[in-house]
Amino acid sequence: MFSSADVPNRGRWRRAATVTALVVTAVVLYAWVDLHFSLPWNPDRPSFLSFPAGPLGRACDGLGPADSNANASHSSTSAPIPNLVHYVWLVADPAVFTLSFAFFVSVYSSHLFLRPDRIYIHTDVAPAVWDRAKASESGDIWTKRLLNLPGVTPNFVETPRVTSVGAEIDTFGAKSDFLRADALRSFGGLYLDTDAIPLRDLAPLRYAGFANVVGGAVAIAPKFTGFVNTGVWLSRPHSSLAEIFYEAMHAFYNGVWAISVDILSDLAYRLHAVPGEVLILNPRAFAPTSWELEDQVRLFKPHPSTLSATAALGGAVLDDATGQPKELERTCTAALAWLRERELGAGRMESWEMDFSATYVLHAFDGDIAKIRGWDGQITLKYVLARQSNYARAVYPAVWHAVTAGVIPREETLF
């Protein structure tokens, strides 16, 4: 016989058995459902072999081409954000003014794809040094070619050394932060870091109706997520974001590395709620890779065994007849063809290759490329023309255009 003390124990055992049975039943059902819908022979699950050939084959029925006059109203006289480009180049030695091939790639891409009214280089070099570098036959060839591109205009500035509240501005990065803020609030337009390369026209963003356009920043480490990329920024002159950022930098700069990223991110998200003030784009728009070494390897490391047959997926395509960039096809049929190729692996995309379809500007973050193993870390004309890395394939159309336009002599391409 059971004593009265056994009754609670028996009740606990019954409850435990019931809970166990429910858990086992749930696990079995979950496993069955998961297996049922994942088995290749399951008739309820469309496969890549049958799905695109059926419903998607008629996806474009009744849809005509995009309106060819969609951008007809885009003119430099009515653009909410001016068609101006701003770079900052500061020197450690006032007697040395040498610009890199990688910087040339960025400026030439701006010239080709954006067709800006001016490309300003805000610099602390003396005007006489600029003029000598522009005219010299014996100086650095990429410096001369860059300075002689159409629209390239110097803005000679004094290097900012102290904030309005007395904090020392002691790094090139911080000085550039203050100068870019001043340029955007004064002139408006597009600010680019020297390693940020336009891959297509930004007119749709300038005409989007916002006073500012910024993009999120990609990050591998979780602690770096959620920030705005400060290396690409479009702004109307005297926009709220540009004015407040400029004042905030003076008020809060304390020498901490990249404090400008914190300030711009905080302000952009705060002002994002103000109608028409800030458009924050997906990170792929301006910075599809991060500044961390793993991403730099993915972007820059060559793959020597790869045939150099294609430019970057989604990158610019030049018209064979005019040499000018073609617009990205905006038809349903073109998008469907891209999707089939993407999902079915129809041969063009290699295992290491990135797709830049969503990228307006490639912020390449080339600061640590010398650390990439198996490569000398040199961005050269030969490196780009080989098209054996994601970076090279992305910037190739602009560099090849410079060759066909005679800016880069063809004999320099004979390696």
Using the predicted structure, report yes or no on whether residue 269 has a pLDDT greater than 50: yes
Task: Give mean pLDDT, residues 381-394.
Answer: 94
| Tens-digit pLDDT profile for residues 232-251 | 999 999 999 999 999 999 99
**Cα torsion for 241, 247, 250, 256, to the nearest 10°?**
-30
Specify the range with the lowest mean pLDDT, choosing from 7-11, 21-25, 378-382.
7-11
Dump pLDDT digits (tens) for 102-149.
Answer: 999 999 999 999 999 999 999 999 999 999 999 986 678 999 999 999
Tell me the percentage of the chain whose pLDDT exceeds 90: 58
For residue 70, name the pLDDT band (cuts at 50, 70, 90): very low
pLDDT of residue 48: 34
**Residue 404 pLDDT:** 94
The 10 Å CB-count burial string (b at 16+, else e) for 311-336 is bbbbbbebeeeeeebeeeeeebeeee
CA dist 80 and 404 (Å) reads 33
Confidence grade of residue 200 (pLDDT, cut at 50, 70, 90): very high
Residue 208 predicted with pLDDT over 60: yes
DSSP output for 196-212? EEE-S--HHHHTSS-SE
Which pair of structure tokens corresponds to residue 26?
Answer: 């749930």
What is the pLDDT, as a whole number, of residue 326? 61
Of 206 and 67, the structure prediction assigns the larger pLDDT to 206
Q: How would you label 181-204 residue by residue, b for 16+ Cβ within 10 Å and e otherwise?
A: bbbbbebbbbbbbbbbbbbbbbbe
Q: Is 414's pLDDT higher than 50? A: yes
Average pLDDT over residues 39-43: 39
* Residue 53, pLDDT score: 39
- 3-state secondary structure at position 171: coil
Identify the band that residue 47 occupies on the pLDDT scale cut at 50, 70 and 90.
very low
pLDDT at 174 exceeding the cut of 50: yes
C-alpha span between 278 and 405 (Å, rounded): 37
Give me the mean pLDDT over the 315-320 stretch.
Answer: 60
Q: In 60-135, where do the E strands start and end?
A: 84-89, 118-123
Percentage of the residues of the chain whose pLDDT score is greater than 70: 75
- Residue 359: predicted pLDDT: 95
Residue 232 contacts residue 362 (beta carbons within 8 Å)? no
